Structure 1
Amino acid sequence: SQEFSLNPALSSPEFIADFSSHYSAAANYSDPGGAFDLYGKPFVCARLRRLLASESALTSVASAAERLAYTRRSSDLHQLAQSGDLADAATRAPKILRQFRSFLLDSVRPWLQRLIGLQLSDAEIDVTCSRYGRGDCLLCHDDRMLGRRVAFVWYLVDSGWSDSDGGALELLGAQSGDGGPPEQVAASLLPERDSFVFFEVSRQSYHQVAEVTSIDKVRLSVHGWFRFPRGDPAAAALVAEDANAKEAAASPFAHLEAPLAIDEDLVYRWINCAYLAAETQAEIRSSFGDESQIRLDNFLNETLVAELIDQLAGATWTRVGPLTQRSYDVISLDDVIANDRAPLIIELDRLFHSDAMLVILSDLTGLSLHYASSAVADADEANGDEANGDEANGDKDNGDAGPAKRRRLDDAVAENSDRLPVGVCQGEFRRWRRGCYTLVRDSDYCGQGDGDGGFFLDAVWHCGCTGWRETMGGETHFTCTADTDGEPLVTVTPEDNCLNLVYRELDTVPFVKYLNANCAQLNSAGQFYDYRALYREPADSGK
């Protein structure tokens, strides 16, 4: 049976008094003897070195943790291997790990209470082991769940872990320092063997684990939470703040707008004419009706796409957040218009926002996004004439994508623009490179909800991604909000000049998987682009 004890240098009355004094000051401080470091902003975090008195005890725990059974976990928020709680029978933790859990509760907890002056439960503690290998990471979160009071991690990594290995614990804060949504890394703590890091869970305790980049090292740790004493009202109050303080930033897709009127020549200039032929549209509608999703290859004019990629590469991009929701690059269209150097960017943005695109998407999917759609008109006529068998008498296109169809589209829009409802839309260009992602917490799936759920059409078009592989990240997963750790319902992979259409309910939401260091192999810039648009049928479309 292994006996655990604290390093005497960390448990003496003199050390406890010195540490507590500096901890209360909530300022950056490094102990001259190297025993501990304190970080005061954006929240107080402490690192104590050489937690255990015995090196052999450390080695025994590390060896047992290496042999533990781990489950690979992958979601919008994380990618890593993790054990179950060490107290759970299903985890089958070796005896020494269960003993170490008891040591944390019975010895480390009272010592920690003296260090920081907080009361912690003497009956409950959460303890888990995690392994981060190459490409693994844990994105921005604050640890706030009912009962959690102090988060901790004890590192079992090999000695000599360096910056080039990645895997740092990063403390995140607002640029202004005013406690707003996190936007930047304020402090970075590399893993150190036998170091014990902890912080109080709070509304500001946003943090993440940076991507591990080492080829052969594993970021191994024991981590978890000391809990509030039972019945402490502060536990519920901490979680209740969620409703008042979280997710202050609006999503670019939170508000859908009426479509624009454009010159129809723009449609025929950009869109592959095969997708404007009625016969092709009917085949696509049938497939989409069965699957509620489809990928349309070579959707846009290849020559224009090549020119567009050059214009995107030369544009000015800005990273958007906050990190609790998203991290990717966007273009200011106002700047593009003002500089007048990238007309194709403006053209394509207008196309995706246009009446004409809503008509075409209706023709391709059968959705009632626009009254001028031949599919909508034919469906209405079929419904009206079904009893008399008159469906075959409708106005057929026979594959024509030329002047006759243009006139019909122009005339329908002109004749009915003031009296018939149309769908709403929103869209943006995005640039994806290492470190980019979106999270399910992003509110963009809300659109202009009417309180009773509703359905949305997501359109995602990629370019500049030749050579993309799944190991790079960057795919778009659609998942149910009730099961974000489960298998995605739909996955959209980046493929050049492909338009992906996904019809989904309000509680099925998209996220873009974190792009890791492997995307440097994609091209010389290690990046690709997409245009994401969101559409919704008019409220009285009958669907």
Structure 2
Amino acid sequence: MAKHELAQHDAVPLKRSKLSLQEPPTIVPPVFNPRYSDPAFSKPFNTAFRDRLVFKDEQSDARLFNSPYPAASLPNFLESTNYLQKLREELLTEAYFHKSNDLYEFYQSEDLRLSKKPHIAAFKNAIYSQKFFSLMSSLTGIDLDPSIIDLNGNQYHEGCYLLCHDDDIKNEKEGRRIAFILYLVDDDWSAADGGALDLFRCDETGYPVEVTQSLVPVRNTLAFFELSSVSYHQVAEVLTRDKSRISISGWFHGPLQTKLVSKTMPFTSLESSAQDISLESLLNPDYLSESAMTNIGNVFLEQSSIELQKFLRPEIYEQLVQELEAMGSVEGAGTDKALWDVVMGPQHVRRYSRVSQRNQDQIPTTLSRLQRLFKSKVFEAYLTRVTNLTFLSANTELRMFKKGDYTLLHDHALERNGLDVMFSFPHLGEGKDEWEESWNAGSTHYVAEKANLLTLYPRHNTLTMVLRDEGTLRFVRYLNARVGESRRRELSAMYTVNEDDEDEEEEEEGEEGEEEAKVFEN
């Protein structure tokens, strides 16, 4: 679970139903499908759950999957379809909060324990009942604490998602033991609508590798699974415009039988290079004059960030793009796998492609020259001139983000402080000239103290420099389906800074909230 989060947006009464609520009538408590409490079902289910076996009940069509970890699907969970419809209608009258950060984009109600609506209250009481806790304990064999439960309504509209995470939140004595979801989607929801509950297989180090099981939402189905350090899962992006993925979800808590284990993940970097190359042969001459470098330095000193458009000479940038396009036409399927040959993970931290060390000789000539420039002493001297900083080391990476890729704020991926330098050369889909901000995807966000400080979008032939100091983090927002075939391609570098140079930079923290980087455009 990512430990760093952005502040959430204000409450939004999203798509509230116009249902007019009268005085709460007397509501008959919801009845759970009696098949699931029948010992003829619960005993073999419990055995399969405990021994990690596949199980299917022909009478109810309930299923238990054993891979990548035990997860159950119980259809027709509530006996009354009329009650189910009333529950859904009331749920749509709740106020919803827009939940948006590096990990997710969806809408969530307040704690449903606080709701006074009759069908919601009746459902809450049923979930909190000893009968239901006994049912879940008999099915899973897990000792659950009936005094602790979480319960919320959720709406996922087109473009909403919840990326890879494990829900494994606990302290030394108790924690979340079971996650559950009751689906209230339309009857005709299908896999093409998106929103599947994807379960990840982990490798031998305990990190998520790939989705090996997907559960498509089905109305009146209860899905649940045991939480652990390897229970990585996600809600896939919702693709339909006409329907919403509506559900009630929560967690059952219970005592822990194992002690907490802290995992760390090594991050490797490319070797720095001392090869020099001419600035004049690549860079726009407008950024090389003394007056221009002084102006850049003044803006950077004030804002700790700057964006330089048309950074390379026009003919150099055109050559770089043409070489990549030619490489794609030769390969037939584009340069995705031919050049960016390694998918970076693990997926609870990041997912994008990079050019590996073994594939360096495949880099087209102009892009290779630019990469050598970023590692050179002469470029280090240029950065020192415009930022008034000196550097201890430099690490570079050629990376590419396509639909479905992202980076997250996570304790397993904390970066060293320093100067982030990024050169952007995106590939845009047919008919697109610029990366569209309306996609709400593929942007770089700098955050601190739960506030978004700076947002940068991929732009043609653009260099950005951002000084990331203590407490400032960054992430690349999930590339949703709106980006289509567009690709975020970039040469990314991080220069570690001599801390003695930062005394002047720390005098101005900047105002809270969103702030655009100063743009130099020729």
Shared fold by TM > 0.5?
A: yes
Pick one of 96, 100, 105 that aligns with 2:119.
96
Q: C-alpha offsets along residues 179-207 of structure 1, whole Å, 9 cap, x if unaligned?
A: 62101001000000010011111011000
Alignment of 1:231-270 (within 5 A): 232-234=255-257, 237=258, 240-241=260-261, 243=262, 245=263, 247-248=264-265, 250-252=266-268, 259-265=272-278, 267-270=279-282
Cα deviation for residue 509 of structure 1 reads 1.1
Which residue of structure 2 aligns with residue 532 of structure 1? 492
Letter in 1 for 2:273: L
For the 8 Å contact 1:333–1:346, the answer to whether it is kept is: no
Which residue of structure 2 aligns with residue 433 of structure 1? 402
Matched, 1:325 2:349: yes
Matched, 1:205 2:231: yes
Matched, 1:38 2:64: yes
User: Which of the pair has more CA radius of gyration?
Assistant: 1
Which residue of structure 1 aligns with residue 475 of structure 2? 511
Once residues 52 and 290 of structure 1 are traced to their aligned partners in structure 2, the CA distance between those partners, rounded to angstroms, is 61
Once residues 367 and 324 of structure 1 are traced to their aligned partners in structure 2, the CA distance between those partners, rounded to angstroms, is 34
Alignment of 1:94-133 (within 5 A): 94-106=117-129, 107-133=131-157
Pick one of 365, 371, 378 that aligns with 1:349.
371
Q: C-alpha offsets along residues 110-147 of structure 1, whole Å, 9 cap, x if unaligned?
A: 21111111111121110011100000000010001122
For the 8 Å contact 1:169–1:207, the answer to whether it is kept is: yes
Once residues 304 and 217 of structure 1 are traced to their aligned partners in structure 2, the CA distance between those partners, rounded to angstroms, is 47
Which residue of structure 1 aligns with residue 84 of structure 2? 58
Gaps of 5+ in 2: 1-25, 328-334, 504-522
Gaps of 5+ in 1: 370-422, 448-454
Instruction: Report the secondary structure of 1:184's partner residue.
Output: strand
Q: C-alpha offsets along residues 359-405 of structure 1, whole Å, 9 cap, x if unaligned?
A: 11122222233xxxxxxxxxxxxxxxxxxxxxxxxxxxxxxxxxxxx
Cα deviation for residue 445 of structure 1 reads 4.3
Pick one of 393, 407, 415 that aligns with 1:424.
393
Identity of aligned pairs, percent? 31
Once residues 167 and 32 of structure 1 are traced to their aligned partners in structure 2, the CA distance between those partners, rounded to angstroms, is 26
Pick one of 162, 167, 170 that aligns with 2:195.
167
Letter in 2 for 1:221: S
Number of equivalences? 454
Once residues 36 and 153 of structure 2 are traced to their aligned partners in structure 1, the CA distance between those partners, rounded to angstroms, is 24
Cα deviation for residue 331 of structure 1 reads 1.4
Alignment of 1:97-496 (within 5 A): 97-106=120-129, 107-146=131-170, 147-174=175-202, 176=203, 178=204, 180-228=206-254, 232-234=255-257, 237=258, 240-241=260-261, 243=262, 245=263, 247-248=264-265, 250-252=266-268, 259-265=272-278, 267-313=279-325, 314=327, 315=335, 316=338, 317=340, 318-337=342-361, 339=362, 342-369=364-391, 423-441=392-410, 443=412, 445-447=414-416, 455-464=417-426, 465=428, 466-472=433-439, 473-480=441-448, 482-483=449-450, 487-496=451-460
Which residue of structure 2 aligns with residue 393 of structure 1? none
Which residue of structure 2 aligns with residue 385 of structure 1? none
Once residues 155 and 264 of structure 1 are traced to their aligned partners in structure 2, the CA distance between those partners, rounded to angstroms, is 59
User: Residues 127 and 444 from structure 1, CA distance in 2 versus in 1: closer, same or farther, beyond 3 angstroms?
Assistant: closer
Q: C-alpha offsets along residues 232-253 of structure 1, whole Å, 9 cap, x if unaligned?
A: 353xx45x22x1x3x43x335x
User: Residues 333 and 222 from structure 1, CA distance in 2 versus in 1: closer, same or farther, beyond 3 angstroms?
Assistant: same
Instruction: Report the secondary structure of 2:112's partner residue.
Output: coil
User: Residues 330 and 125 from structure 1, CA distance in 2 versus in 1: closer, same or farther, beyond 3 angstroms?
Assistant: same
Letter in 2 for 1:344: T
User: Residues 133 and 353 from structure 1, CA distance in 2 versus in 1: closer, same or farther, beyond 3 angstroms?
Assistant: same
For the 8 Å contact 2:275–2:375, the answer to whether it is kept is: no
Once residues 490 and 45 of structure 2 are traced to their aligned partners in structure 1, the CA distance between those partners, rounded to angstroms, is 50
Once residues 256 and 179 of structure 1 are traced to their aligned partners in structure 2, the CA distance between those partners, rounded to angstroms, is 23
Q: C-alpha offsets along residues 262-301 of structure 1, whole Å, 9 cap, x if unaligned?
A: 3342x21111111111101111111111111111111112
Letter in 2 for 1:532: S
Once residues 481 and 381 of structure 2 are traced to their aligned partners in structure 1, the CA distance between those partners, rounded to angstroms, is 40
Once residues 303 and 214 of structure 2 are traced to their aligned partners in structure 1, the CA distance between those partners, rounded to angstroms, is 45
TM-score by length of 2: 0.83
| More displaced stretch, 40-49 vs 303-312 | 303-312
User: Residues 366 and 87 from structure 1, CA distance in 2 versus in 1: closer, same or farther, beyond 3 angstroms?
Assistant: same
